[in-house]
Structure 1
């Protein structure tokens, strides 16, 4: 307008007040904003009162006589009366009081040294928003989100000092996106700054824990220190748990765990035979769980210090008895189980040697389930040698296997992993079975051929009934991919349809052929196929 002028010279914004008045005194505030935020600055305007005409006349330098009314002359006369002079003569030592000066005003409104800036973060991370400022006296800071005042809490922690203020978001979510504002004010003025925070959804791969460094298997002598080290990351930071043989490992004076940033260490100060087994680090957060495994094999049993005395007890008949555990020795792993990798459908064999296990209890486990003796799982123990034979390994058999040996003196275990190579190609016939015609009581044979690299299970059936090996039927696999079904003596009941079925996890194929048995019928000089007679018999019975 006529009194207020606003202009911009390309760098600085100006507000000019052409004729200031007492009414203009007060707080002047400046706002600057765009789509990403808003800032504010303020200052005080003080207007001094206008001087009266007498002070203007006194400061006049023209030298010309100025007319002053008589009444003003009397009011402004500086001559002393005789009485006043007598008083001053009696008080020669009195001096006028010095004019007291007002102390300088050191107060000033808040000014930002560091303002809020727009931010873009991924969901799940910790967010820190902070500002720096100067003000006198010390100001107060208030934080806002989308115009609503925020209160300090566990999830949104607000902290303020004389020159700084910060807002920490413990874990950012999509709903935390918005305009964040902080106002700094004291009795002199106020300043504020705004900025937009954008929280983008995180990719699941960025949130789930990851093992950056696997723990390594260790073989050592009894009494040696053992250290397992790993590195894991996740968002949020994963919780780390250590296990031994699928049981949570309890920390003690001898077994300790250490954490430094993303590195995790398990330290066994002095190993013993009972420490042998499978060790596992599990990293888990709200988005998933991962693990890494390794095996510790403690060889021998080095005696440390003086052995503890054996407690000798006497029963009611004064008969001396020794604790049962003193008659046994701690089982010790001499040769640990080894990891196995087999193709689906093949057999797998685990073997370990554990000393002092002649009169011990031997058990085999898959993960945490005990394995029972069956035609598919055969467990054999010969002295200190223990074996587990899996007849045919399939996808569901993959996992961790453990041999546990225990006696009254203690227990130990050895673990290994079985990995199954899954078949990705269905079996393919190179040659199918052909129809056959044989005389009664003569041998017969059917054969098929698969691709040599095909891994498949072969089943033979006769008229839809599975053929079992016995005196008359035998199956053979003379070379890779070649499978035979042999009949030692073809009898009339063996005539019919024979089917060969080849299958694996990727698919199943079948092929069939007819067996015709020629037999001499009573009262006929020529032989007729048994299959024709059987067909007539079946048709007649149906009629």
Structure 2
């Protein structure tokens, strides 16, 4: 473990008057030593620990305070002896992560085709460290439970809305909002009922189809973040599994399984190793048992010398100091803006929406953008302007 490079906690701050900051570990103030440094550069605050040992593991907190208030943020440092492949210790063996695992929706709100007069069940699957509060909305109006028709059930993995004896008035846009010790999680779907039970059954028996498969071959370098993405056409509830060489992959910090909610499924491999080489496959299965699948051969190789040289110019790999915040706006708004803060400032930045990269609109000649259809609602990124590449703050 003595070969590990410096571990750095970073925090971007703002406030007027400028707040003062303190770092602590498990409630004990961190004081600078020959191994531990506390730095301030403009609006950035750093805590750096050299020659990390097992005793450095724990919950770290930065507290900001001025005459008008106080705020704090925490992160946990875990120190482990080996990587997930039981290789010799490396920089990967030290991981700083949030003190609570980020909650996320892994299955967007969906339900089986329903006939008029039947029972509608809409479910949203999520993962997180606690059971959140849940609200369902129909065409913008919050739904309340009653003993006759509407039931809302929330457990550790799923939020469920059931409505009995549905009518045409129950058609429309349904939205589920989950909120707890995290930013609100939102998922929506458009519901239209079938006229008869036979039509509903026929809809449930339609086979899912993969409209954009995984690439047949993909080459990547060690320490890259690799995204394997596919696009699915399926109006019925589905589940999906990712495998590598036939073995099921977990949904964890190393392998993030992402459902963007618009038919795009993604497996994100963080900090790839050469032993991540193999055949990756995704199988989608509907509630009726119908399946489809796609596979990709991923090859991970050692980084090229120029890539290592480029990384050596910085003390750390590119990282987000500030993430874009959730934004609520109205349809047809003249403009919306997102901001992120990156380090180092010269890092290349790409913006994505729903798994698709946003292409900047040329001022002189309008470029063609791919539009994507989600339940007959057309969206595109026409008019997107990206600013700030090469600067600490970047804007969309």
TM-score > 0.5, shorter chain as reference: no
Larger CA Rg, structure 1 vs 2: 1
Which structure has more relative contact order (CA 8 Å, sep 6+)? It is: 2
Q: TM-score, normalised by structure 2?
A: 0.29
Q: TM-score, normalised by structure 1?
A: 0.21
